[in-house]
A and B are shown apart, each in its own frame.
Chain A
Amino acid sequence: MLDLKPDSEETSRLLERIEKGQLDAFDSLLARHRDWLRRLVEMRRDGRLQARVDASDVVQETQMETYRRLDDFLVRRPMPFRLWLRKTLQERLKMMQRRHIEASRRAVGREVGQPDNSTSPMWQQLAGIDPSPSQNFARDELARRVRDSVAKLEETDREILLMRTFEGLSYAEIAFVLEVEPAAARKRHGRALLRLHNLLTESGLTESQL
Chain B
Amino acid sequence: MNDSQPLDDELVEALVAEATDDYMDRAQQGQEPSIEEYVKRYPKIAGILRGLLPAVRVMHRNDAQSSGPLGTLGEFRLLREIGRGGMGVVYEAEQMSLRRRVALKVLPLAAALDPRQLERFRLEAQAAAHLHHSNIVPVYSVGCERGVYYFAMQYIEGRSLAEVIAELAAGKAGQGGGRSGVRVDANSVTSTQVPAAQPVPTSTSSITEFVRNDPSTPSQNRKENKDKDNKDTVEILRGAGTTQWSTDETTHFRRVATLGIQVAEALDHAHAMGVVHRDIKPANLLVDSRGTVYVADFGLALLQGDSGLTLTGGLAGTLRYMSPEQVLSQVGIVDHRTDVYSLGATLYELLVLAPAFGATDRNALLQQIVRDEPIAPRQRNRHVPVDLETIVLKAMAKEPTARYASAAQLGEDLRRYLEHRPILARRPTLIETALKWSRRHRTFVAAALVVLLLTSVGFAVSTALVARAQWNTRQAFNRLAEEQSRTKLAFQAEAQQRAKAEQSFRQARRAVDFLTEVSEEELADKPELQGLRRTLLAAARDYYQDFIDHSRDDPTLQAQLVASYVRFGAILDEIGSPADALAALNRARDLQEKLVRKDPMMPELQAGFFSIYSRLALLRGGRQLSLLVQKPVQDDLQLTPQQRSEIERLDTDRRTALASSGHLTVEQWRKRFEELAAQDKSLSELLNSSQTERLRQIALQLRGHDAFTDPEVAAALKLSPEQIQKIRALRDEARRSLFATGRPGDQRAEDWKQAREGWRKISDKIVGTLSDEQRTQWQAMTGEPFKGKLRTMHRGPGRPWHGAGTDRPDASNASLGSVGPLPAAATPDDRSPQETPPQDETLRSGPAPTHNQGIEQRPDKQEKPAKPEKSGRVESAR
Residue positions of A touching B, CB distance < 8 A: 5, 7-11, 14, 21-24, 26-28, 30-36, 38-39, 55-56, 59-60, 63-64, 67, 82, 117-119, 121-122, 124-131, 139, 142-143, 145-146, 149-150, 161, 164-168, 186-187, 189-191, 193-194, 196-197, 200-201, 205-207, 210
Contact = CB atoms under 8 A, between A and B. Distances in A.
B210 A142 contact: no
Task: State the majority secondary structure of interface residues on A.
Answer: helix
15 contacts: A7-B209, A8-B205, A10-B209, A33-B210, A34-B312, A121-B111, A122-B62, A126-B61, A165-B59, A168-B24, A168-B60, A187-B14, A190-B18, A191-B13, A197-B16
Given A30-B311, A63-B311, A166 B59 contact: yes
A205 B52 CA distance: 10
A145 B14 CA distance: 25
Interface stretch (B142-150, B488-496, B726-734): B142-150
Interface of B: 9-10, 12-18, 20-21, 24, 28, 47-48, 50-52, 54-56, 58-63, 65, 69-73, 78, 84-86, 89, 108-112, 145-148, 195-196, 205-207, 209-212, 216, 218-221, 307, 310-312, 314-317, 359-361
Given A30-B311, A189-B17, A129 B78 contact: yes
A92 B196 CA distance: 30
B10 to A, nearest CB: 7
B218 A10 contact: yes
A193 B17 contact: yes
B146 A127 contact: yes
A206 B359 CA distance: 60
A42 B871 CA distance: 63
A125 B54 contact: no
A196 B17 contact: no
Contacts of A30: 311, 315
B645 to A, nearest CB: 31
Given A187-B17, A193-B20, A24 B317 contact: yes
Contacts of B16: 190, 193-194, 197
A161 B205 CA distance: 23
Given A186-B17, A187-B13, A194-B48, A210 B316 contact: no
Given A23-B360, A31-B86, A129 B73 contact: yes
B71 A142 contact: no
Given A130-B71, A146-B59, A8 B108 contact: no
CB-based closest 9 A-B pairs: A31-B220, A23-B360, A190-B13, A190-B17, A8-B206, A36-B210, A8-B209, A128-B148, A129-B71
B83 to A, nearest CB: 11
B42 to A, nearest CB: 12
Contacts of A121: 108-112
A28 B63 contact: no
B209 A11 contact: yes
B65 A82 contact: no
Nearest to A56: B312
A44 B13 CA distance: 24
A21 B361 CA distance: 10
B315 A128 contact: no
B55 A200 contact: yes
Contact of A35 (B15, B65, B70, B216): B216
B51 A200 contact: yes
A128 B146 contact: yes
A82 B148 contact: no
A166 B27 CA distance: 12
Given A187-B14, A190-B13, A193-B52, A143 B86 contact: no
Contacts of B206: 8-11
A193 B315 CA distance: 40
Contacts of A145: 55
A131 B69 contact: yes
B312 A196 contact: no
Given A10-B209, A59-B312, A196-B55, 13 more contacts: A23-B359, A32-B210, A39-B211, A118-B111, A124-B111, A124-B147, A126-B61, A129-B71, A150-B59, A189-B20, A190-B15, A190-B20, A200-B55
Contacts of B47: 207
B63 A166 contact: yes
A36 to B, nearest CB: 4
A201 B54 CA distance: 13
Name, among B60, B65, B311, the residue most crowded by chain A CB atoms within 10 Å (CB to CB): B311
A191 B396 CA distance: 62
Contacts of A207: 47, 50-51
B147 A128 contact: yes
A48 B140 CA distance: 41
A35 B211 contact: yes
B62 A82 contact: no
Contacts of A10: 195-196, 206, 209, 218
B58 A27 contact: no
B210 A131 contact: no
B210 A128 contact: no
B311 A60 contact: yes
B315 A32 contact: no
A35 to B, nearest CB: 6
A21 B358 CA distance: 11
B361 A23 contact: yes
A145 B54 CA distance: 11
A125 B62 contact: yes
A146 B209 contact: no
Contacts of B307: 56, 60
B148 A129 contact: yes
